[in-house]
Each structure stands twice: as C-alpha cells, then as structure tokens.
Amino acid sequence: MSQQESAAGDARLDTLADALAVRFGDAGCETLIAPGEVTMVVPREGLLAVAAELRDHDDFRFEQLIDVCGVDYAAYGRTEWTTSEASTSGFGRGVERDFELSASEDPERFAAVYHLLSLTHNRRLRLRVYAGAPQPMVDSVVGIWSTAGWFEREAFDLYGILFRGHPDLRRILTDYGFIGHPFRKDFPLIGQVEMRYDSEQRRVVYQPVSIEPRTLVPKVIRADSRYERTSPEPTDAPDS
C-alpha cells in the first residue's frame, strides 16, 4: 500500500470516528481508533438504540452484522514476556496455582463484541458492550440484524453471556449435558466430565474426569547467533 493510500484510509477512519463521537457521545459511547480499525464502546443499556441508528442512519448504514463474539478479559494485559518476574503473571500461572483470575463480580470481565459492515459506505465498525456482573447479560440484536441468532448462541455457549430477548437461546457447539462454558479462562483444561460408551448399558454415559489435571508448558528454544560456539578453522594436516 502506498503512502497516499494509507493516508486516505486513515482519513476515512478519522471521519467515521468523528461522526460517531458527535452522534453518540451524549449516549455515553466511547470511540477508539486502533491500527486500521474503529471501535465504539457502548453502554449495555443503550445497545439497541445505538445499533438501530447505526443500521438506519444515512451517515452510517451498517446494514450487515458479520459476527458476534464473547470475550473474557480476566487477567487481560498481563504478559509472560517480563522474564525477571513472570512466575505468576504469564505461562507460569499454569504451573503456580497461586495465580487468580479476576473476580466474576467484575462488570467488565465479560464483553460482547459486534463486527459491522456498511455496504453503502464500504467501511467496518466494531462495537464492544461490557456484559455486567454477576450474571453477564446484554440485549439481543436479533431484531436489528437477524444474522445475530447463531452468533449470540455461540457466545452464550462458550462464555455464558445471556442475550435478553433472544428467541431460542440454546447451546450450539457443546453437548446437551455439557457443564460450564469452555472459553472462560477459569474453565479447567481437562473439562468437568468425560463420556464413554458403556457396552452393558448400550449407551453413552458420563462420568467424572479420570485423568489428573496437569499443565504442559512448552519449552521454547530461540536461536541466537550471539551464543553459537565457533569451531576452530580447519588446518592442513602435516605431511607424513
């Protein structure tokens, strides 16, 4: 991409962000610009009104909902690359059990994220709505974008986010008897139960997990020429 095209793209983002800030600033929305994308944080009580205006207003025309996904922000921003003190904040948290995730009462632990596309103006927008606590819940946008039906079921199944007003909020990926929500960061890696076929009962049965919990921490070997040993230069063998 040329510098001229990049500058034009940045200008389009700034134009959209400015229009969103003017239109929805009084509604408590916050507009952010990340590299190449615009994100608007919407209060959950105002989601439906904001979504309807984003779809219908001539300045926006976000006619299409591409995706809805859940996010668990527990321990967000804690990095494992601080090598001097990472034992309880990065990969080490899987080994040392004293690491605790954010409390479930945190109103900003879970969020629903909506990805919108305007076919009219050829631009995209991301909405983020924090789902509250202790039971994360936001309003369903199925009445505004019908494609949200399956996406909201997926976010409910994997993260436990409830969508108020959804016409058929059931699990969509996990089994009927599944316990918990597997994409939450406090969900055990080995799961809660295991299933097997019982030849005597001639059916699938569920039972407690029979394997011991364990955490596999990969060994990372980084090649660095500064630490390679150099072999001595070969010398000609003396004549015998």
Give a yes or no: residue 36 inside a domain. Answer: yes
CATH classification at residue 113: 3.30.460.80
Given a cut of 50, is residue 98 above it in pLDDT? no
Give the pLDDT band of residue 184 (cuts 50, 70, 90). Answer: very high
- Contact call for residues 148 and 65 (beta carbons, < 8 A): yes
pLDDT of residue 99: 46
pLDDT of residue 178: 82
**Cα gap 124→17, rounded to integer Å:** 11
Give a yes or no: residue 117 inside a domain. Answer: yes
**Nearest C-alpha neighbor of 96 from the set 217, 219, 218:** 217
Q: Phi and psi dihedrals of 234, rounded to 5? A: -65, 140
Mean predicted confidence (pLDDT) in 194-223: 78
Give the pLDDT band of residue 146 (cuts 50, 70, 90). Answer: very high
Give the pLDDT band of residue 199 (cuts 50, 70, 90). Answer: very high
Mean predicted confidence (pLDDT) in 31-58: 95
Give a yes or no: residue 213 inside a domain. Answer: no
Give the pLDDT band of residue 196 (cuts 50, 70, 90). Answer: confident
Give the pLDDT band of residue 206 (cuts 50, 70, 90). Answer: confident
pTM for the predicted model, two decimal places: 0.76
Give the pLDDT band of residue 97 (cuts 50, 70, 90). Answer: very low
**Cα gap 95→86, rounded to integer Å:** 11
User: Residue 102: helix, strand or coil by DSSP?
Assistant: coil
Give a yes or no: residue 214 inside a domain. Answer: no
Please write the tens of the pLDDT for every residue from 104-135.
688 999 999 999 999 999 999 999 999 998 89
Give the pLDDT band of residue 48 (cuts 50, 70, 90). Answer: very high
Give a yes or no: residue 82 inside a domain. Answer: no
Give a yes or no: residue 144 inside a domain. Answer: yes
Give a yes or no: residue 127 inside a domain. Answer: yes
Give a yes or no: residue 206 inside a domain. Answer: no
Given a cut of 70, is residue 240 above it in pLDDT? no
pLDDT of residue 12: 84
Number of folded domains in the chain? 1
* Residue-number span of the structural domain to which 182 is assigned: 3-73+108-187
- Per DSSP, the residues of 127-148 read EEEE--SSS-EEE--TTT-TTH
The secondary structure of residue 44, as a DSSP letter, is G
- Contact call for residues 125 and 38 (beta carbons, < 8 A): yes
And the tokens for 37? 């994308």
